[in-house]
Amino acid sequence: MTETQHDATDTAELPRHRYTAQLAGQIERRWQQTWADRGTFHVPNPVGSLAPTDGTPIPADKMFVQDMFPYPSGDGLHVGHPLGYIATDVYARFHRMRGANVLHALGFDAFGLPAEQYAVQTGTHPRVRTEANIVNYKRQLGRLGLGHDSRRSFATTDVDFYKWTQWIFLQIYNAWYDEQARRARPIQELIAEFDSGTRAPSDGTVWAELSVGARADVIDSYRLVYQSDSVVNWCPGLGTVLANEEVTADGRSERGNFPVFRKRLRQWMMRITAYSDRLIDDLDVLDWPDKVKTMQRNWIGRSQGASVLFGAPGAGDIEVFTTRPDTLFGATYMVLAPEHPLVDQLAADVWPQDTDPRWTGGQDSPRAAIEQYRRSIAAKSDLERQENKEKTGVFTGAYATNPVSGKPVPVFIADYVLLGYGTGAIMAVPGHDQRDWDFANTFGLPVQEVISGATSPRPHTPGTVCW
């Protein structure tokens, strides 16, 4: 038998309807088109343009299934997309088959860094590139046979969508948090209370004596959305600010592997801390795993303590928050975050006499030492700064006054203190705190133990005890 005859015989022996990948594709396309023509996954509303035209009753058992929107920042889907989408599709189909009115929808998270960066890489306008990607995403999603209601799909770049996000922003901007009522109220009600005298500004000023500009500043200090200078993760390569989660342990961006630097910028902030007590208290009524609720409590980070002011000549008062005011007598030095606004005011022009060489960072003046130290930590993430076992820092050349002992204490800057945590300044009690002891041991600072019987990080004989 020749080779040609052998091939022909094999072909003839194949079953006519053998289930091959080619046949599977034909069957899938046929039924997917049938589903689209019949509107199989179209979910009716009780009223309006999406209500049944023939009066078909709507199941009372309703269910909403929402997938995480994909970023249309590539030519097409990747393998991770169907991993989640197929699971939710199975869940939605199961409840649909049991008679529930299941709304399963999907949109596209088209704004933001991924879409913008992809447009830069491809040399096209973000809208043109994004809309083309969405068309292909929809085609691929259709081939997967997912049961999304295509009529309800949208992109976050659609005006009909983002006009509502802008509206929500304005509602928050024009609101303030009333601690007595434990809820947000319109900002106009706060202004009315100031005008009537039923409420006074929290800073002690007299409302009636304030100028228009000063009144605006007071109102802004209450708004739930406000502008403030803050230290952020600035990535010049991406031209944007990154969240801590978007920065690698090496101080580079997850997207593009660009270097990231700590920089002070004017930012829009939300006064989420006003809701801290409510958020923590309401965890008790949530049916969540204890592990998750513990993580939330730690993330919110409510602490009971006291604010203490250390006087510093030329810079006013340095405010610290401590959960252990009983250890004030043991505060032998202070540490500020390198980005703290008072650092530049504290910085001396020359080193005080007999300054320990270990405190200077090898520089000729405090200002030079501060500048050099800031540059050295600019690329460190908050996580890296906190986990860094080696304690580093420099002396500002200034001293503050311990408010209970009256003794002068040197003021340092160090990367293990973060501006966004507490007040961005700490009173260091090396006799009862491991990190403070490590720093004191590195720089030859005094250690004073003030609590009898307390565990000390010092590996040798305790010092003076205050009763």
To which residue do tokens 């049961």 refer? 147
For residues 74 and 134, give the distance between their C-alpha atoms in angstroms, rounded to a whole number.
Answer: 9
The torsion defined by the Cα of 187, 191, 192 and 196, in degrees rounded to 10, comes to 150
Residue whose C-alpha is closest to residue 334's, from 421, 239, 430, 256? 430
Architecture of domain 57-157: 3-Layer(aba) Sandwich (3.40)
The torsion defined by the Cα of 264, 270, 271 and 275, in degrees rounded to 10, comes to -140
The pLDDT value given to residue 216: 95
Phi then psi for residue 202, to 5 deg, are -70, -20
Give the number of other Cβ atoms within 10 Å of residue 449's Cβ. 22
For residue 357, count CB atoms less than 10 angstroms from its CB and return exposed for 0-12, middle for 13-18, buried for 19 or more: exposed
Contact 333, 402 (CB under 8 A): no
The pLDDT value given to residue 340: 94
Query: What is the helix (H) or strand (E) element at residue 218, kind and residue range?
Result: helix 212-220
One pLDDT digit (tens) per residue for the chain, 467 residues: 455 555 555 555 667 778 888 889 999 999 999 999 999 999 999 888 898 888 888 888 999 999 999 988 888 899 999 999 999 999 999 999 999 999 999 999 998 777 777 788 888 888 888 999 999 999 999 899 999 999 999 999 999 999 999 999 999 999 999 999 999 999 999 999 999 999 999 888 999 999 999 999 999 999 999 998 888 889 998 888 888 878 887 888 988 899 998 888 888 999 998 998 899 999 999 999 999 999 888 888 777 889 999 999 888 899 999 999 999 999 999 999 999 999 999 999 999 999 999 999 999 999 999 999 999 988 787 777 877 678 999 999 999 999 999 999 999 999 999 988 889 999 999 998 889 999 999 999 999 988 876 555 655 444 433 33
The pLDDT value given to residue 249: 78
The pLDDT value given to residue 74: 80
CATH topology of domain 306-443: Isoleucyl-tRNA Synthetase; domain 2 (3.90.740)
Matching CATH number, 175-275, of 2.40.10, 1.25.10, 2.170.220, 2.40.128: 2.170.220
For residues 214 and 207, give the distance between their C-alpha atoms in angstroms, rounded to a whole number.
Answer: 9
Task: Give every CB contact of residue 323 below 8 A, 6+ residues apart in sequence.
Answer: 303, 304, 305
Please determine whether the domains at 175-275 and 306-443 fall in the same fold group of CATH.
Answer: no
For residues 269 and 255, give the distance between their C-alpha atoms in angstroms, rounded to a whole number.
Answer: 24
The pLDDT value given to residue 366: 97
The pLDDT value given to residue 465: 37
To which residue do tokens 């403070």 refer? 436
Angle at CA 464, nearest 5°, toward 463 and 467? 135
Helix, strand, coil: what percent of the chain each, to 5? 40, 20, 40
The pLDDT value given to residue 303: 78
Pairing of strands 333-336, 408-413: parallel
To which residue do tokens 């320990």 refer? 356
Phi then psi for residue 114, to 5 deg, are -60, -45
Give the number of other Cβ atoms within 10 Å of residue 171's Cβ. 12
The pLDDT value given to residue 345: 95
List, for residues 369-392, the tens digit of each pLDDT value.
999 999 998 878 777 787 767 899
For residues 177 and 243, give the distance between their C-alpha atoms in angstroms, rounded to a whole number.
Answer: 26
Query: What is the helix (H) or strand (E) element at residue 169, kind and residue range?
Result: helix 159-173
For residues 232 and 335, give the distance between their C-alpha atoms in angstroms, rounded to a whole number.
Answer: 20
The pLDDT value given to residue 11: 56
Instruction: Tell me the torsion sign for CA atoms 165, 169, 170, 171.
Output: positive
* Domain ranges, ordered by start, for the chain: 57-157, 175-275, 277-301, 306-443
Cα distance from N-terminal residue to C-terminal residue, the chain: 107
